[in-house]
A and B are shown apart, each in its own frame.
Chain A
């Protein structure tokens, strides 16, 4: 052993950073030295097989809400083990498998019977059944088969360290430990079953009623999963032990659950997590001279912790970052809107940062930081006399927000029917959080209103940002004048049936491209626009058609 041993007199913590690294590389080279390489590989392979089997199984178990059953089974299997040994006198793997299977069935059935026939609910029934069977196992073990004690200890707490010295089997010219061969077979069989029965498993786990109505044999699937669990637990006897198999059944699948949106992804991430836990856990256990089984489960739970904190979209860290970013965005937007309001109103540009801070309700230092950020974003510059001025970009942002706010207010008052003096806070929240498409829908639903419920004008947007005079007819106000330039979408795109109809209407109304026109009247309730053409004729255009017609105004509408 390396001289680092002396360091471990202190409870491991302090030694982690430097000595840990040294020890790790030392242990690595020991484990992977030419002499030990084969054994290490075999042991790791076994651990990985167990982890994979548990990962796949565990995914379905946590989706079906049966995590508790797995815990119970891992305890009650002791009884099966003891009875099997007493009955047959041998510890052969076939016997073990059968014993585990029978125990699993007995446990599940007993829980169902107790909770189904009395007031005792399922969680209490599970507790009663598994403690009883476990206690019975312990009693039988300590009285009738104490010679088994050592083996039982291993079965419960893990045996990874002794895999390499166990019985060996010669396969394909290699000498492999018996346990590895058995577990590999189990793993392959599980994989095959997973591929074959993927769809029924998926459906019955997510929606048992649908599965039943589709004629899927739900009971057989349940029994099959139970059987697979027994096989895995028996296999786990030689790896992490029955007690800790619960950890491998839950932690990697839970990690997969956080990192994936669909089942294949969840299975994949669970497998990766299981493999990583086995490798890292095994090496760390060797370095620190602790039980490999415990270390593997600890690493698996740590991986879950990392996923919990950092998972994109779902992890705590991600959520906190996103929330912070959102809040910052909202502060920026509130600031530009206030600046615009001040710029538009008769008040001169605010020279006094503390005045502005007072209006916004934040401290001058915070305000200073926000203004710097706004300058960086190009929304604000310093004006000639040392004050602040909104750039064109800034004005655009502010108008966009202003428009969204007023449209939401109009929507909440006119369509939803909320009282006028209450809508401001809701509109405040909505204006920040929602996108252009939704705002456009609101605008359309309201019939493109010109004023908000307070009577202030709602800013309007041109059809495209680089053509500030081009508007859909529905966006025009009374008194606007311009000429017709075309249909939206552009005419060279395939014409929909509506556009075709409208083309007919346009022809029927005898409107020509390039025709001069001016808006005479708007009927908000009926949603029509009354247009006077250059030749003196007036035409009434309905909403749908007005949305389709593109007009170029004679002058850019003022801000």
Chain B
């Protein structure tokens, strides 16, 4: 049966590229996909607790704070040894977390100021160290772009092992301590009265967050790892009323978004150029002129993943069966149309 629509020029290439991607024949694609799935699980789970505890800014500040740690880790061997990079980054993240707590306790400044301070101080130090590394002949091309935007295709076996290890630890903690974390996040006073060690759970959460941030940086980059932590959790929050389902949905969204973003960033430059032309030419005809696409290597991973996740969030925000914009609007219209009913008693 012949398709009624004319076959658009880019579509066959799109299909071809996607099937090539998903055949997982390419080694770097395999690593990237594995890494992304693991990260999705890890960040999706932790992100729920972070969002529910209103600690969303922590991801961004700890992420920025990691840069000097990475630089110091690099300076130990002047190579990108994953072990030293991880240790340096983790040490920096923990130091940053500790400093934030000290500043908050030692003076009257609010938490967001303390976080902004540590963020910019550490990040500035990192940029200083980085510029030293880059001006030295031994320093490589400098990983700043990778630090910011991520490069999942560059994940090596050691990196994947680390990511896998952290993911298993996070999964283990969440499953084993689920009810403790649930009570502690919902009602800290009640949790304390039950005898739950609230302080220690908080430190555990911070430690796991720091570890996830450190392993996510290489794949999605620093600014955008916040999105991996926050957006799936926020999406899940809009779609369900129960915590276990929220965790599951967040993981699902994170993994799906991550893989879709990966796929998007793996599309070749020519495909993107062709795709853009499809949009540009009709608009050109009606007088709207858009610049031509000039891309050689495709999109970086981080932004692609973020855009997919944000789209998913937008869809949930608009169409969520209970909390979406559409539903709220319909509800309000319905309220205005029906005669008022006396409110339920207490």
Contacts and interface: CB of A to CB of B under 8 A. Distances in A.
B301 to A, nearest CB: 11
| Shortest Cβ-Cβ A-B pairs, 9 listed | A247-B120, A301-B121, A297-B124, A294-B127, A135-B303, A135-B306, A131-B227, A294-B128, A123-B56
Interface in B128-170: 128-132, 135-136, 149
A346 interface: no
Contacts of A146: 294-295
Interface of A: 8-9, 11-12, 62, 65, 67-68, 70-71, 75, 86, 114, 117-121, 123-128, 131-132, 134-136, 138-139, 142-147, 157, 243-244, 246-247, 249-251, 254, 257-258, 285, 288-291, 293-298, 301, 304, 308, 314, 316
Given A8-B136, A86-B291, A291-B130, 15 more contacts: A68-B116, A71-B60, A114-B317, A124-B230, A127-B231, A132-B310, A134-B223, A135-B224, A145-B291, A247-B120, A247-B121, A249-B116, A289-B132, A291-B131, A301-B117
B78 to A, nearest CB: 10
Given A114-B317, A119-B237, A138 B121 contact: no
24 contacts: A8-B132, A9-B136, A65-B110, A67-B116, A86-B291, A118-B325, A120-B237, A123-B55, A126-B56, A127-B60, A128-B227, A131-B230, A134-B303, A135-B303, A136-B303, A138-B303, A143-B293, A257-B107, A291-B131, A293-B127, A294-B124, A308-B103, A314-B107, A316-B106
Interface of B: 51, 54-57, 59-60, 75, 103, 106-110, 112-113, 115-117, 119-121, 123-132, 135-136, 149, 223-224, 226-227, 229-231, 233-234, 237-238, 272, 276, 290-291, 293-295, 299-300, 302-304, 306-307, 310, 313, 317, 323, 325, 328
Task: Tell me which of B272, B291, B323 has the highest count of chain A C-beta atoms within 10 A of its own C-beta.
Answer: B291
A86 B280 CA distance: 14
Contacts of A121: 51, 54, 56
B109 A127 contact: no
B313 A128 contact: yes
B123 A251 contact: no
B127 A291 contact: yes
Task: Tell me which of A144, A146, A316 has the highest count of chain B C-beta atoms within 10 A of its own C-beta.
Answer: A144
Contacts of B128: 285, 288, 290-291, 294-295, 298
A247 B118 CA distance: 9
Task: Tell me which of B234, B237, B272 has the highest count of chain A C-beta atoms within 10 A of its own C-beta.
Answer: B234
Contacts of B294: 143-147
A128 B300 contact: no
Q: Tell me whether chain B's interface is mostly helix, strand or loop, or mixed.
A: helix
A250 B117 contact: yes
Contacts of B237: 119-120
Contacts of B115: 67-68
A119 B113 CA distance: 24
B36 to A, nearest CB: 16
B116 A131 contact: no
B339 to A, nearest CB: 26
B116 A138 contact: no
Given A143-B299, A293-B127, A308-B107, A120 B238 contact: yes
Contacts of B130: 291
Given A11-B132, A244-B127, A135 B307 contact: yes
B328 A117 contact: yes
Nearest to A133: B310
Contacts of A136: 303, 307
Nearest to A240: B124
A394 B272 CA distance: 90
Contact of B323 (A68, A118, A290, A314): A118
A138 B300 contact: yes
A126 B119 CA distance: 16
B104 to A, nearest CB: 11
B124 A244 contact: yes
A119 B238 contact: yes
Nearest to A9: B136
Contacts of A132: 227, 306-307, 310
B54 A123 contact: yes
Contact of B51 (A117, A124, A295): A124
B306 A294 contact: no
Contacts of B109: 62, 254, 257-258
